[in-house]
Amino acid sequence: SVDLYAPPNNLGDFIDRSKESVILVECSIGNEVYYGTGWPLEVGGQVLYITNHHVVEGCEVSPNNDVLLFNGDDLDSATANQLHAGSVISYDRSKDLAIIQSTLNSEPFTPSDEVLTGHWVMAIGNPAGLIRSVTLGTVSTLTVDFLPWAGYVDAIITDAAINQGNSGGPLLNSRGEVIGVNTAVAGDFQNISTTVKVYELCNQLLDCSSEPWRLR
């Protein structure tokens, strides 16, 4: 069994394997382009991508629900086979979550609600153009947090660095399971980042009574 308080045994392999599935999400509104992070989850018989609602805000309502997904390591040298069309198919503003459909087929992560204060965690995302960068930390506490742009969420507070561009990315435990969706950093405080618990997807978006989860 894996000790969730300790880092994975082979951290290098763990990082390489985990990074492969994390994508950059691009939402274009007029001349403005907004970036965030997303990750794959098996839903029903397909792989869908999870991100924050605020990452795709303005790109979430049909017919203007197109986004671009990038699954490479360097956006400046992106090749055509690393860029994939996606469309936002559902979202829950109150929990700051959204689901994207795409033909891109990445190895999906497994969700878990097994999380306690002190557990080791790793966040993966695309802050400041640092594609698929990782930050390591621990679960600082579990709480209900109020996100001013969304609402009250079951939250994991972590000291793993979360910055603009990390939004929507996965917070992984040392088993490689997703426990949360990285969302926010607390104003003027250091090392206090909010991650929405992955099971908040079950609030409005997914039916989590079956394995794998299904769209509602």
Catalytic positions:
54, 96, 167
Of 24, 17, 18, residue with least CA distance to 167: 24
The span from the CA of 160 to the CA of 124, in Å, is 10
Token couple for 17: 């394997």
- CA contacts within 13 A on the Cβ side of 183: 32
